Amino acid sequence: MKTRNVRACLERSYVRGRFAEERKRYLTDLLDRGWKLNTVIIIAYKLQAFAARVDIRCQGGVTSEQIAAAAESHLEESRHHFSTSNGPEIARRNFIAAAKGLLRFLGQLREPKRIHRFGYLVDAFCGFLEAEDFAPTTISIRRGSVEKFLDWFDARGGVFNTVSIADVDAFIAEAQHQHWARTTLSLHISSLRCFFRFAATKHWCRSLAPAIDAPRIYKDENLPIAPPRNQVKDVINNIGIEKPVDIRDRAVLLMLASYGFRGKEVRDLKLDDLDWPGETIRLYRSKARREQLFPLLPGVGDAILLYLQQVRPETNHRELFLQFRPPFGPLTRPALTGMVRNRFEKAAVKLRRSGPHVFRHACATHLLAEGFSLKEIGDLLGHSSVESTRIYAKVDLKSLRNVAELDLEGIL
């Protein structure tokens, strides 16, 4: 009865006019996914204004430029309605977001495809890395680093077969001028060396890799940053269980902190990876590329169950953790990083770095302080070599004891 009344309200309000049927289907879908009526009505008003200005059925889809033009036209007509707190910029952003949501739902949003003059070089390089069985994350990092350099080189009108070490040095100098961290710069340079070694074998350019200098990284410079016990407790305890986003975030952070999973491993978890009768989690290790079983801890299990039963959007996606905005896809890397940073900020906890990996460091250093061996900790974290775990042994044991006091019993 409530659903019929809601849809009748929308019918009377904003679903008349051009492309009413398409808009009605989208708005109904939002309601079915749990969006609040007031929010949907606001979106409906924006979509009515959008549909009056743009042919959403046009062949090839609607471009970002058309959406922006419609937003400007609508703003010009509605400018006198804005309050001080909800000015034109916010109205423009909300209008564009509503329009893109509708067009994505209809499959009519023409997303601009990035055309890179040197794209064929990058594709060939990444294809080589795949054939050499590099991890997908490593390939993604390599691609991003090489594209940054090639974008810079392309903007200066460079021809690739004339690229020189002077060009690479100029790129590095500019990055240093922009205050890139030495560790970040070192990572990009490592990718460029790998790329130019490959390019030389293909005779695309001269051999430049041996001449590329990287900034010196001092021993133990990159020791893991593990938040102390009281800070991790503050972050997790500060998350409520009333709002849908809080319920999801609490489940995600508990999983990160309790098991030391990588962010990608949590993002890639599927519903089928949870064995409720057997009380286990099946995890695919993104770097080792193998599966590993973990016991489902009671606290983590309860948090996940609450999320599944009360707030997870109904969708065909099989990933466990989803975003709460249409089209309700899996959590992305930026979304997860932003979630963690936001939770640290809300708990008034300040760290030099506050991405998902800090929980992994906290888990490892806690286990080390409790007397577990490097081999045992490495097995939990999915390290293929004990050398990857040894870095935690270089941290002062006194500081190790200030990490999260979480229920890790039975993991190893």
> What pLDDT does 380 receive?
63
- The residue extents of the domains of the chain are 2-106, 119-211, 229-400
pLDDT tens-digit series, residues 239-258: 988 888 899 999 999 988 88
Handedness of CA 210, 212, 216, 222 (dihedral sign): negative
Type of residue found at 142: R
75: helix, coil or strand? Answer: helix
Q: Which residue, among 123, 116, 105, has the nearest Cα to 43 in the 3D structure?
A: 105
Note if the bond before 224 is cis, omega within 30 degrees: no
Please state, in angstroms and rounded to a whole number, the distance separating the CA atoms of residues 187 and 181.
10
Report CA dihedral (250, 251, 252, 253) to the nearest 10 degrees. 50
Asked if residue 353 has pLDDT above 80, the reply is no
**Crossing angle (nearest 10°) for helices 88-106 and 37-51:** 80
Asked if residue 95 has pLDDT above 90, the reply is yes
Q: Which of 22-31, 149-158, 222-231 has the lowest mean pLDDT?
A: 222-231
Instruction: Please give the average per-residue pLDDT across 37-63, as a whole number.
Output: 89
Active site residues: 262, 287, 357, 360, 383, 392
> Could you identify the residue written with the tokens 């710069």?
185
Average pLDDT, the chain: 79
Q: Any residues with CB less than 8 A from the CB of 383 and at least 6 apart, and which? A: 377, 389
> What pLDDT does 194 receive?
93
Instruction: Please give the average per-residue pLDDT across 377-383, as a whole number.
Output: 63
| Comparison of pLDDT for 384 and 289, the residue scoring more | 289
Asked if residue 111 has pLDDT above 90, the reply is no
* pLDDT > 90: percent of the chain: 25
Asked if residue 343 has pLDDT above 70, the reply is yes
> What pLDDT does 226 receive?
67
Query: pLDDT-based confidence at 295, cuts 50/70/90?
Result: confident
Q: Any residues with CB less than 8 A from the CB of 337 and at least 6 apart, and which? A: 263, 355, 356
Query: pLDDT-based confidence at 2, cuts 50/70/90?
Result: very low
Contacts 24+ apart (CB under 8 A), 88-94: 94/46
Q: Which CATH superfamily is domain 229-400 in?
A: Intergrase catalytic core (1.10.443.10)
> What pLDDT does 368 receive?
65
| Comparison of pLDDT for 54 and 408, the residue scoring more | 54
Whole-model pTM over 0.85: no
Asked if residue 162 has pLDDT above 60, the reply is yes
Instruction: Please give the average per-residue pLDDT across 391-398, as a whole number.
Output: 46
Q: Which CATH superfamily is domain 119-211 in?
A: Tyrosine recombinase, N-terminal domain (1.10.150.130)
